Amino acid sequence: MYQSILKLFGKPRYYSKDKDFFNGVWEKGNTIFLLKQNYTTKIGGEKTVTTDLFILNKKIDFLVNYYYGFGFKYYKDYLEAKIKKQDSSYTYQQFAEDMKNDWDYSNDKYLKELENNLPL
């Protein structure tokens, strides 16, 4: 599923990836694709990968907000900042750097996550 989504949509707008989990976000028009993968699952003693793909209409706010709560909180924070900036070209990387430079030193978590991500 992961490789198929990458081939279809290219690099995600946001992702968090380590050796155990992957969470990725793609947006196409009014549709949001949230892909979650867990590489630690065992079924019948055998290691396997579990995958959830959520396909959401951007216009249904309560559903989008609900699903952002499942591993996509940082992305939701970014979207809220992007709306405030009113800049459609504002990227997650810029957001993470802005947050690091903010007065609240706990906000460097966004940049640390980017730095610790495994490659796609």
Mean pLDDT of 13-25: 93
Classify residue 79 as exposed, middle or buried by CB count within 10 Å of its CB (0-12, 13-18, 19+). buried
Look at residue 104 in the predicted model and tell me its pLDDT.
62
What phi, psi does 17 have (nearest 5°)?
A: -140, 130
Q: Label residue 118 by pLDDT band (50, 70, 90).
A: confident
